[in-house]
Amino acid sequence: MRKTIVCVTALAVVILSLTHCQSSEEASAEALYGQYCGSCHQLPSPGDLSKDLWITRVLPEMGARLGVQAGAYNPVNGLGIEEAYYIERTQVYPKTPLLSESEWDSIYNYVISLAPDSLPVDTVRKHRSVPLKQFSVHKIGIDRMNGARVTSLNCTGPENGCWIGTGTGEWFSWSGTDTSRMVNLFASPISGFDGQGSEQLVLEMGNLNPSDVPRGKLWLFRNGRQQLLAEGLYRPVFAKRTDLNQDGTAEYLVCEFGNRVGMLSLIEGRDESYSKRVLVNQPGMIRVELADMNEDGREDIIALAGQGDEGIYVLFNQGDGKFSREQVIQLPPVYGSSWFELFDYDGDGDLDIAVVNGDNADFTFILKPYHGFRLYLNDGSSNFTEAFFYPVYGATRVIARDFDRDGDQDFAIAAIFPDFEHNAGESFIYLENEEAAAFRFQSYTSAATLEGHPLIMESNDVDKDGDLDILLGLYVGSPAPVPDSLPQRWMRQNVDLLWLENRIGEEPL
């Protein structure tokens, strides 16, 4: 009997030792994952992506950035000589490993052991919206070609109407009717406009598809004269005129989205001499706004990064061209942050932030349940707390306005990567605010928005009737899978914009 007890005790010790060893190994792997994969951005959960995407897409790229060869993956395979040259210059792929082979194996196995086989698809969402009634949808053709290629839209430049840029470099002026005129032609896609009156900024993207070759340009049109302010930009997507040092001379903020390399830049100088200063060395910079966040009398910079260390950055203006940077909202790199709005949601006098996450164009073409619209409230000291989340697959644009003129903020959301199979109508959603304090919204969709693929969105009083309309700029191409029937349908028609005419106050809606 005593011998049996001794054997059982010994077996228990072995089991406990193995369990302890296993848990220690898991803890060690988890720590390694946090150390190497969360040092330069918020650590994603292994459950954020399916197992096959981790194995075939994300872990090989992650390994390459740690100097580890993961299978046969080579980040420059299939690329041209020029692209490979610029990737080499980025130095994002170390020549020697940053960790041991056993450490990498621990990280790899840890992630794979926790990653799900698939992510759940929420098909119930197709029942949450009612037909859009406040807006009438009109199809607008800008050029004479079938298949939309709108890459930029700005309704603050011309006195009556909008500037429209295309993926083929055309700059159009549209006056709010079916007529348009070409203003200029550029060598690459137009990705942004800014300015009013006699001064206009135009961004040439250089490369529409992901690239590290710096071909972007910033042009200034003033009093009939065209001037090149900057070239060699990394896929610039947004520009804004400002005078941050308050010396009466304009400077120009440029979001260089880039790919592996990107940045927020300040173009400064005067007359014929301009230079570039990097304010944030971070790829995925996509939009900036200006506001005095700390009420010191100086405009601060609020910027969104949609790759790597995703989130909202505030560059507090210290004067004399100096800034102190703080990341006030941090998000995982799988979120694909795409746009933000700065506004006072709750009427307390400070600026809140709405962000949409949904860029699905790089490594992981999959419907993600954490994509959508997020509302962050400001406590008055630039501390932001997520107060509301509305899931939207592939959300890429948001506009916050009082569209129904009842005194609170409504939201228009565009999604270039919706659930095309089950709920393609959610490529556009109108959230009507019914009770602001309780974050209660009614969502509306329209089958008419399937007439195009919305890449960008603007708001303006197109018909000059006193209310705000919505414009969707369409693009026929998609970096993510789309059912064949939709691109074929889009290519058969000459529809470049969808004008959602606000009918508030009219009877019947």
Tokens 């949450």 found at: 128
User: Which one, of 446, 457, 444, 447, lies nearest residue 497 by Cα?
Assistant: 457
Tokens 């848990």 found at: 23
Amino acid at 471: L
Contact 454, 397 (CB under 8 A): yes
Q: How is the beta sheet containing 162-166 ordered, strand by strand?
A: 150-154, 162-166, 170-174, 180-185
CA–CA dist 277, 256 (Å, integer): 12
Output the pLDDT for position 209: 93
62-108, pLDDT tens digit by residue? 999 999 998 889 999 999 999 999 999 999 999 999 999 999 999 99
The torsion angles phi and psi of 367, rounded to 5 degrees, stand at -70, 125
Contact 357, 409 (CB under 8 A): no
CA distances from 399 to 78, 161, 386, 428, 442 (A): 39, 18, 18, 12, 16
Amino acid at 320: D
β-pair partners for 230: 218
CA–CA dist 406, 317 (Å, integer): 35
188-211, pLDDT tens digit by residue? 999 999 987 778 999 999 999 999
Q: How is the beta sheet containing 135-140 ordered, strand by strand?
A: 135-140, 497-502, 469-474, 454-460
The torsion angles phi and psi of 320, rounded to 5 degrees, stand at 55, 30
Instruction: Say what the pTM is.
Output: 0.92
Structure tokens at 178: 């079916």
Four-point Cα dihedral 170, 172, 177, 179, nearest 10: -70
The per-residue b/e assignment along 479-490, b for 16 or more CB within 10 angstroms, e otherwise, is ebebeeebeeeb
* Residue % of the chain over a pLDDT of 90: 77
Strands 190-194 and 273-280: unpaired
Structure tokens at 23: 């848990």
Measure CA of the first residue to CA of the last residue in the chain; give whole Å.
88
Contact 481, 472 (CB under 8 A): no
Output the pLDDT for position 41: 86
Contact 354, 400 (CB under 8 A): yes
pLDDT < 70: residue spans in the chain? 1-27, 157-160, 177-178, 507-509
Alpha carbon 406 to its chain's center: 29
**Segments making up each domain of the chain, as ranges:** 31-114, 123-185+333-508, 189-330
CA–CA dist 177, 160 (Å, integer): 10
Burial (0-12, 13-18, 19+ Cβ within 10 Å), 459:
middle
Strands 454-460 and 469-474: antiparallel
For residue 477, the SS3 value is: coil
Amino acid at 352: D
211-235, pLDDT tens digit by residue? 999 999 999 998 889 999 999 999 9
CA–CA dist 431, 61 (Å, integer): 37
User: Which one, of 365, 334, 311, 359, lies nearest residue 455 by Cα?
Assistant: 359
In total, the chain counts a number of residues equal to: 509
